Amino acid sequence: MGTLILARHSITEASAAGRNLGQRSDPPLAAEGTALAARLGATLHAELEELPHDDLRLHSSPALRCRQTAAAVVDAVGGDIDVEFHSGLLELDYGAWDGLTADECRARDPDQRTAWEADPFTTRCPEGESGQDVLRRLSAALDPIEAWLAEDRARCAIVIAHNHVNRLRLCALFGWPMREYRDRLSQEPAGYSIVGLGRETPVVRRVNAAPA
């Protein structure tokens, strides 16, 4: 049973301000985000000490905030690890809501925002994506990784992605109603989850754990 470590990127100015950050801009980590990413790396290094990981791979969204978080993880974990980037792991495209707060979205598009909050899986952001759209493309990226993990208990993959991406994947793995992925799961900056794969039912070890 291989191990999937699914982590969110660290803090950006947008995440600290509660603003939507999807695909329409590509900012770096904030100063506090750089420090938190280093703590995430150190924490994952400690987690790996307790896990079999003869074969370790690291995957990331190509967004700068994820690339910088992944670099901090590589620095802490050590070894000769090449980061593999997948565009399917990019964050939800918020469309016209990109850069806005939740209140600003409600003021701009009250009816669509109400529908989206009730069912973000099938409801698209204006000029953007739905959770279903994201799950489709992220599954194309993660399915082969998870199949590889399931073949050998000594395999481990660290995946650095985004808020909606991680919650959607975890909700699918747990078999929960997909329209409830925002209600059932939280994903803090640099939060990470650990899931064992290879049995019929995934084995959950951590969910949205904070770096030490």
Q: What is the pLDDT of residue 53?
A: 83
- The span from the CA of 170 to the CA of 175, in Å, is 9
Q: What is the pLDDT of residue 112?
A: 98
Q: Which residue is catalytic, options 47, 53, 59, 91?
A: 91
Contact 132, 92 (CB under 8 A): no
pLDDT in tens, 88-117: 999 999 999 999 999 999 999 999 999 999
pLDDT in tens, 140-168: 999 999 999 999 999 999 999 999 999 99
E-assigned strands of 102-210? 155-161, 192-197, 203-209
What does pTM read for this prediction?
A: 0.96
**DSSP per position, 32-44:** HHHHHHHHHHHHH
Contact 169, 78 (CB under 8 A): no
- pLDDT of residue 199 exceeding 90, the answer is no
Q: What is the pLDDT of residue 80?
A: 83
- Rounded to the nearest integer, the mean pLDDT of the chain is 96
45 catalytic? Reply is no
Q: pLDDT-based confidence at 125, cuts 50/70/90?
A: very high
Q: pLDDT-based confidence at 52, cuts 50/70/90?
A: confident
- The span from the CA of 176 to the CA of 11, in Å, is 28
Domains along the chain with CATH numbers: 2-209 (3.40.50.1240)
- pLDDT of residue 79 exceeding 80, the answer is no
91 catalytic? Reply is yes
- What average pLDDT score do residues 108-134 get? 98
- pLDDT of residue 36 exceeding 80, the answer is yes
- The span from the CA of 175 to the CA of 125, in Å, is 24
